[in-house]
Structure 1
């Protein structure tokens, strides 16, 4: 089975049967939880496990020295994926820590304004609250427009009143919304305001070009749409605008102890790294990024939108189901509410049938879900290895378990 993707006048074919054959999990589960942790390919699995095995055989330091070329190759590979320079990439253990390293390294003072969006992720918002409490900085939530995405006119008005930082999530955890990140970047850049973009759900799902977006920092996880190992991620730090920002945490990899009372911080983005890191994960994430680059992000994005739109269409025919995705552009995350149902119980019933979905609660994005009167929503997130037949199976199973519980 192949999926023919149209890219302008050209056609790109994704060999779905091959992608599934190269994804061991497809033989065991119908996985609709890529937004939680996607199924890795055999290539990524082997790259990760083989390095762990080599560590066991010859020692960790020795295995890293042996794999130096592969480890160094991580930076240009990931840079290519997001349109960056290799020196602007740091390996970090997850998107939250990457985001934290950028955010907490900024020098907030009383009255500094942090502009964010209604759909912002809980971990990020908790950090805003903590910094506001400690420093006197102010959090400004820019309202949504009629499409449910950040209101660009309102953002312009707020940024004209002054801002230290614009910080939003590109794709929220609780829905298919894709924020207009490039338009936000233009507003921030024109105002000379730093722009931090949480891209943990977007890199690997859709084409991301940091130059076009105009962000100064970009935080990414490996385990979601990149299909990398858990415990991996990276931070993009734009050289032209962030090189003078000193990380809140330093070690003897990020800086050199040059005198008894002095140190020098390295100039590239690796100043945000630790010396000790998950070396097998670096190699595994490189393998995943290589595969994404080879398949092509335009082709992946087109395939994911086709699957997600098809799933939304199927779900709209199920009695009691209400789709809850917002935005002018909707991606691979499909969320919905089931009338009168316990979503957690439905998730468990589906898991018994080897179908993986999850539930997004108010804890994940309180301003958005609470503002819409939603306690929680069911979330099904597709990836390239999913098929139309799997979507049919999922929707039929959902209707069946819902009827049984009613």
Structure 2
């Protein structure tokens, strides 16, 4: 069991006395992550970036094993990037797509994914179709099965949507898609670091994510998993001298592992910080973290639902640590502003980020709270009192 007080004591950002409920935005790093990043930047200032990187070559290499352990795969199926967006785009642009092909998304699709899907579909003459949801808000596997045919090349799934507490039923949807011969790309940007995300259990082809959210790593870091068995069928055009070799004057050869998605230039300090965040998660235990986040977010969700004039907007049966709500008569940005003024850090999720789901439910914006395991029950209760005061 994770002690939130001890976790907070190991988090420099918790010393200010506020209540941090924005790990779905950019979480607070633990001390070891912070010291790792700053320490390496100092070393770069002393001896230069190249030498400093060579000194940490073993640690950088071990990072692939750290994330392979977290994601339930082989180290050669892991790549590091500078963001979740870079990871997702690298994989998506490598999936062959031609005129007449189809990409399926769910109603929970994130704008950062939907925009490139729409743009590329338009450029090649492909189509994008939306899989309906169940009455509870989860992806309808039955509807998905009815939409799958030989033209579907990719099914894009969002594990934990940015605008609420849904946890998508990934395994069942992935199994249906793979039976039909489609690639399955899982956006785990909001799930890894708070719930178990394992390739060997979910049976997806690709997983992408970021370091700055629930992983508690630095900004400017991302990671991806690519199933080794599918790499040969991908388009490998966006490759530099790290992901490939200039073998002869007229011949370039791409790597045959997931690192084909990496670029030569990277922030070594940030990557070391991401690896440190991965080790920190493993030391705590993924299941223990999941239980702690589920408990603290459940307490917040239940408490908000009990306040008159406050509506919780989370959907689905299984929930993530994201809690979305609104206060009657007070715009979401104003609620967030008033909470921040009183020491409670939250943010706002707007329609443009998850347009299909928000339009379906008639929502323009919601307040988004996302407590991590370093938030105590007492802090949740204090945050609820602030919401009551804001409600007036």
Is contact 2:11–2:31 with CA below 8 Å preserved after alignment?
yes
**Are 2:110 and 1:121 equivalent residues in the alignment?**
yes
Partner of residue 171, structure 1: 160
Contact persistence 2:205–2:226 (CA under 8 A): yes
Which residue of the partner structure matches residue 331 of structure 1? Answer: 320
The yes-or-no answer on 1:192 pairing with 2:192 is no
Q: Give runs of ≥4 in structure 1 deviating > 4 Å.
A: none
Show CA shifts across 1:347-405 (max 9, x none).
112112221100100011011111111110111001010011111111111121231xx
Q: Does structure 2 conserve the Cα–Cα contact (< 8 Å) formed by 1:101 and 1:247?
A: no
RMSD (CA atoms): 1.1
Residue in 2 that maps onto 1:76 = 65
Alpha-carbon distance in structure 2 between the residues aligned to 1:244 and 1:62: 37
Aligned residue pairs total 391
Question: Which of 389, 392, 395 is the matching residue for 2:384?
Answer: 395
2: CA distance, partners of 1:183 / 1:297: 22
Find the residue that maps to 1:156 and give its secondary structure.
helix
Please, which of 17, 20, 23 is the counterpart of residue 8 of structure 2? 20
- Name 2:194's counterpart in structure 1: 205
SS of match in other structure, 2:148: helix
Verify: 1:281 aligned to 2:277, yes or no.
no
* 1:354 pairs with 2:343: yes
TM-score normalised according to structure 2 size:
0.98
Structural mapping, 1:2-401, within 5 Å: 13-28=1-16, 29-160=18-149, 162-401=151-390
Distance in 2 (CA, whole Å) between partners of 1:243 and 1:228 is 31
Q: Give the SS at the match of 1:389.
A: helix
- What is the distance in 2 between the residues matched to 1:314 and 1:275? 48
1:248, distance to aligned residue in structure 2 (A): 3.4
Q: Which residue of 2 aligns with 1:5?
A: none
Q: Deviations over 1:329-357 (max 9, x none)?
A: 01100001211111111211211222110
Is the CA contact (8 Å cut-off) linking 2:87 and 2:208 kept in structure 1? yes
2:194 partner SS: coil
Q: Distance in 2 between matches of 1:376 and 1:63?
A: 45
Alpha-carbon distance between aligned partners in 2 of 1:177 and 1:248, rounded to the nearest angstrom: 35
Report Cα offsets for 1:309-343 as digits up to 9, x if no partner. Answer: 11111101212111100111011000012111111
Q: Structure 1: which 5+ residue stretches go unaligned?
A: 1-12
- Structure 1 distance, partners of 2:3, 2:360, is 42
Q: In the aligned structure 2, how far is the partner of 1:382 from the partner of 1:16?
A: 11
